[in-house]
Chains A and B, each alone.
Chain A
Amino acid sequence: MYDREAAARLISSPFTSNLDNALIERELADGFRAGIRAQICAPGQLELIRRVKERFPDSKTRIGMVVSYPYGGMTTRVKCELVRQAREAGMDEVDIAPNVTAAASQDYAAVEEEMCRIIEAARGEIRLVPMLWMVKFSFETVDGLCRVYKRLGIDSVKTSAGIHFGEMLVEHIEWLHRNYPEFCIEVAGRTRQREKAEAMFRAGASFIHTGSWRKLSGIGTDPAFDGATKECSAGKFTNYLQEAGK
């Protein structure tokens, strides 16, 4: 896979607490410039992401927002309100977490009822990408969630969240793709090496959501926070051809 092809299949979401607004704006601009698949913002960043996107009118990078990410612990009313705000702000997609307590209890009726109301709030104008929490849930629970999403006509799923210590495995994707080949699979959860990313794609993943998009694309280094100094370094592009010629 060429580096540019890899970049076009990566999704970034620069909103963690170790960043500041200048770094976030720079991250977003670099993502649009590199043509990554999508950039997903937090609810408080809608205006920022739209403003930065306007600077790159030819970029194919999609924009989206997270809703109740990653635990889905907000009430249905708040989730629907945030979906409305994302829709009105012109987002292409929303990454949304189901009610995890209901899902863990295998109360799929509650999950489905909530998801129906969220679909209504989206009005068909914004793509919904619900989470499966594969690194925490049993395959039985993941299967239950997939059945709900499939029944509701949802065609894309996000496997997990990357902030935890849970690590997505290629075997997770093989299982998901084998049982639900109709889903567009967005992998999230500690895919930080190119080799593993390519194995994920071969197993059926469509896109990878990662904080390491430059590293995975082979085009540089990503922001890194140092807990000792409490400083965060900026991401950088690397011109390997130029470096090799030095």
Chain B
Amino acid sequence: MTNKNYGRVTGGRIMEAYYDYPHLTNLVYEALDYGMESIQVFPNQVRRAKELLDGRPDAPAVCAVIAYPHGTFLPEQKAYEIEDAVQEGADQLEVVLNVVNVRSGDWAQVEREFALCRQAAGARTLKFIVEAEYLKPEMLKRVCGLAAAAGIDRLCTSIGVYPIAKDGAEAAAGAEAEDVRLMKEYSGGKMKTVAMGCIDSPERFMELLNAGADYICTEFAAQILKKL
């Protein structure tokens, strides 16, 4: 497999406070160079990214992150933001799930969130970040089932910015191979799985692909693809 082949299952992203306009330009050209499937940007950078891509036929999809990075919004608020991002030109939408509702067992509200966002996104690719690091397997299973029933296209594992306490130490929570395996199993082939969060080396990239991830999204996409 060449790095262009890997590019087709890779998303590049820049989601930090210190990234400026030249970083966005750089991401766009890296995505073109490596044939990346998509780039994820803040909604207020979608228009700029689309202008840079200038309608090229080999352009990656431009994905707007919604309710990012914490998903504690009402479904109506997320739908409003999705409609706004679509107006800006977003090809894909990546929504952070309201994980508080999941942890509270408020499944009716989880279903409403999937339904309203699906409606707002129309035919565009709709992904949800489920923050698997906060979910017990039974919660993750139910989320996958409801998302598949609502016609969600892809589920993403993590955000990768929040530190989490595990085994007495604190570290950034990111994609885990076990979460990818569970999400693949629970999705029953109805949705694609995206590994995301703290993927910073070719080894991690391959580990998650081998665990069954359909796509890998990472801030380090170009550096990783260059080494593969």
Chain A residues at the B interface, C-beta cutoff of 8 Å? 15-22, 24, 42-45, 69-78, 81-82, 85, 99-101, 104-107, 133, 136-137, 163-165, 224-228, 230, 232
Contact = CB atoms under 8 A, between A and B. Distances in A.
B72 A43 contact: yes
B188 to A, nearest CB: 23
B84 A136 contact: no
A99 B45 CA distance: 10
Given A74-B81, A136-B17, 4 more contacts: A17-B72, A71-B16, A73-B42, A163-B163
Contacts of A71: 15-17, 42, 68-69
B interface bracket (residues with beta carbon within 8 Å of A) = 35 or more
B54 interface: no
A224 B170 CA distance: 12
Interface in B152-173: 161-167, 172-173
A81 B80 CA distance: 9
A65 to B, nearest CB: 11
A137 B19 CA distance: 10
Contacts of A18: 103, 134, 164
Contact of B17 (A15, A17, A137, A228): A137
B42 A74 contact: yes
Interface of B: 15-24, 41-45, 65, 68-74, 77, 80-81, 84-85, 88, 98-101, 103-106, 131, 133-136, 161-167, 172-173
Nearest to B132: A230
Contacts of B45: 73, 101
